[in-house]
Structure 1
Amino acid sequence: MFIGFVILFLIGLVSATFGSIVGLGGGIIIVPALTLLGPALLNETISSPVAVGTSLTVLIVTALASTVTYVKQGKVDFRSGWLYFAASGPASILGASFTGAFNGPAFQLTFGFFMLFMAGLMVARDYLKPVHIDWSIQRVLVDASGTEHRYGYNVISALLVGVGVGLISGLFGIGGGSLFVPLMVLLFRYPPHVATATSMFVIFLSAILGSATHVALGEVDWLAVAALAPGAWFGGKLGARIASRMSGKGLLWLLRITLFVLAVRMIAAGL
């Protein structure tokens, strides 16, 4: 059992580090790890709904740690973040209530193909002709280093993205960043660093609501949370620091590779 706790601590550390670097939150590692390794690490089989609920609970810690670091770097756009959350918050509760309908192979296949689609979309981004949309809301963000970032959106499109983020977050326990960050970069032309930082802020808020639903449904393994959370806290801070030292192009490639590898793994497990 002690070895299992150590491994879960490391899983929490690694998942939060990667999750906060690319703005996904870490659930893309924690959920598969719990469903596949639960019997070996905790001497119990962890169902998909419980894995999702546990991941979302740990996600609160990860997102808080990384958001605090990103705020110090001046890369969180709170104004747009609250707008996204206005839609993603209620949607995360709805998504969490449907998790029980996806269990076993059905959950793994749905999860895997979704991530594969997003990975393909991010790769196609380099080969598609950029679409310049004259959004009604234009944002200018100056970070702590003095770098100016420009991007835009409108209220309706931002709320629709928020709904998608919330549903994915509550349903799959991955924070929704796998949908949020690509859309912010592709559709609204956010710089990758600002998209990642703002995504983690919205994920923090959405994870609180989504995990509360899973707690009410009894779909949280608190033993796993206790083992994962300390690593997630340190990983969240570490990932945000690493991201600040990476180029925008490097962040995008890390996101693509992460999505593709985990998509293949989940599809294989579902089949």
Structure 2
Amino acid sequence: MEYILLLFGGLLAGTIGSLVGLGGGIVIVPLLLGLGAVSILPMSPQIAVGTSMITVVFTGLASTLAYMKLKRVDYKSSLYLFVGSGPGGIAGSWVNRYLNDDSFSLYFGIFIILVAILLTLKHKQKRVEKPKKTGIQRQFTTTEGDIYTYGFHLTVAIPIAFLIGFISGLFGIGGGSLLVPALILLFSFPPHIAIPTSMLIVFLSAIVSAITHITLGNVNWLFALLLIPGAWFGGKLGAYINSKLSSNTIVTILRIVLVIVGIRMIV
């Protein structure tokens, strides 16, 4: 039964993670901890996070390739932000060693709900469509002909990316749960560009975090192999669904998913 849950869990995680740019770990980590609680299989927070990061690599790769075909990935911004998120992922993976079961679940749940609340409050505010003409400037035209101008300062963006990478390595979630709101709220990315761009950053950051967790022995390879096929196809499916939905619908789905998972982890 556990193996069947892992196969379907990987598909669900990949689909949700790709759809709203989370990476999938936000589903996989609670799933693995839940299986550890009801079975004889040992599952510490460290093993759950390390195994999740392996799966997030494949979710990120599958969804990024799908978004590339839709021409929605901002490559330049992704590489700039990876400069911060990569080292942050390594640091978070090392700090993860010091969390026990109870503290991990509590901090993880509170973190997720705070992100959902922040996104709910800020999404109602009007985005800045014309940022100052300094720093990195980007422009995107939607299929409807709407033009979005957005940008960021490296001195602000890289530290934020480091923090997001740190949380990603710490909780095994891919970092998209903070990265997508940051891109949308702080830098005025349109959601249909923020999510694909987030998935590329998640993919790159997950690689370095996964390598770190492998060196620490934090991976259940049997579980990872069962999760990967579903995560791969789910990543492609989520990207396809994303292309069919409006920006407001995507943000609404993101908020609902974050609240549900956060409450579940705290309980």
TM range (shorter): over 0.9
Partner of 2:106: 109
1:67-86 equivalent positions in 2, closer than 5 A: 67-86=64-83
Moved more, 101-110 or 132-141: 132-141
Would you say how many aligned residue pairs link Structure 1 and Structure 2? 265
Q: Does 1:257 align with 2:256?
A: yes
Structure 2: which amino acid aligns with 1:6?
I
Paired residue for 2:180?
Answer: 181
The one-letter code sitting in structure 2 at the alignment partner of 1:61 is F
Gaps of 5+ in 2: none
Which SS does the other structure have where 1:125 is aligned?
helix
Secondary structure at 1:16's aligned position in 2?
helix
Describe the superposition over 1:25-47 as per-residue Cα deviations: whole angstroms up to 9, x where unpaired.
Answer: 11011001101113556x40210
Q: Is the 8 A contact 1:140 1:150 kept in 2?
A: yes
Work out whether residues 8 and 228 of structure 1, in 8 Å CA contact, stay in contact via their aligned partners in 2.
yes
Q: Secondary structure at the match of 2:245?
A: coil
Letter in 2 for 1:9: L
CA distance in 2, matches of 1:65, 1:258: 21
**In the alignment, which residue of structure 2 is the partner of 1:218?**
217
Task: Compute the displacement of 1:129 (Å).
Answer: 5.6
> What displacement does 1:145 show?
8.5
Q: 1:34 to 1:135 in 2, by over 3 A?
A: farther
Distance 1:223 1:71, change over 3 A: same
Partner of 1:16: 14
**Structure-2 residue corresponding to 1:151:** 150
Conservation of the 8 A alpha-carbon contact between 1:135 and 1:153: no
1:30 to 28, 31, 35: 28
2:93 maps to 96
What per-residue deviation string (whole Å, max 9, x for no partner) do you get for residues 143-193 of structure 1? 789765421111112212211221011100000111100011001010001
**Distance (whole Å) between structure 1 residues aligned to residue 38 and residue 235 of structure 2:** 26
Deviations 1:102-153 (A, max 9, x none): 1211001111111111000011024446567425222013578976542111
Q: Tell me what 2:231 maps to.
A: 232
- 1:214-233 Cα offsets, whole Å, 9 max, x none, are 10010000010010000000
C-alpha RMSD of the superposition: 1.8
CA distance 1:145–1:200, change in 2 (3 Å): farther
Check whether the contact 1:96–1:210 (CA below 8 A) recurs between aligned residues: yes
- Once the two structures are overlaid, the 10-residue window that deviates more, 144-153 or 48-57, is 144-153
SS class of match (1:219): coil
- CA distance in 2: counterparts of 1:191 and 1:182, whole angstroms: 11
Normalised to the residue count of structure 1, the TM-score between the two structures is 0.93
Structure 2 counterpart of 1:48, one-letter code: P
Map of 1:118 onto structure 2 = 115
Q: Which runs of 5+ in 1 are unaligned?
A: none
User: For the Cα contact (< 8 Å) 2:2–2:35, is it kept in 1?
Assistant: no
Q: Distance in 1 between matches of 2:126 and 2:233?
A: 39
Q: Is this contact kept in 2: 1:77–1:141, CA < 8 A? A: no
Change in CA separation of 1:63 and 1:144 when aligned onto 2, cut-off 3 Å = farther
Task: Give the match's secondary structure for 1:83.
Answer: helix
Determine if contact 1:72/1:144 at 8 Å carries over to the other structure: no
- The answer to whether the Cα contact below 8 Å between 2:52 and 2:173 also exists between their aligned partners in 1 is yes
Identity among equivalent positions (%) equals 44
Partner residue of 1:64? 61
Question: Separation in 2 of the partners of 1:8 and 1:83?
Answer: 34
- Pick closer, same or farther for the CA change 1:71–1:123 going to 2, 3 Å: same
| C-alpha distance in 1 between matches for 2:122 and 2:144 | 28
Q: Is the 8 A contact 2:131 2:149 kept in 1?
A: no
- Secondary structure of the structure 1 residue equivalent to 2:151: strand
Q: Deviations over 1:31-88 (max 9, x none)?
A: 01101113556x4021001100000001000000000000000000000100000111
| 2:23–2:202 contact (8 Å) kept in structure 1 | yes
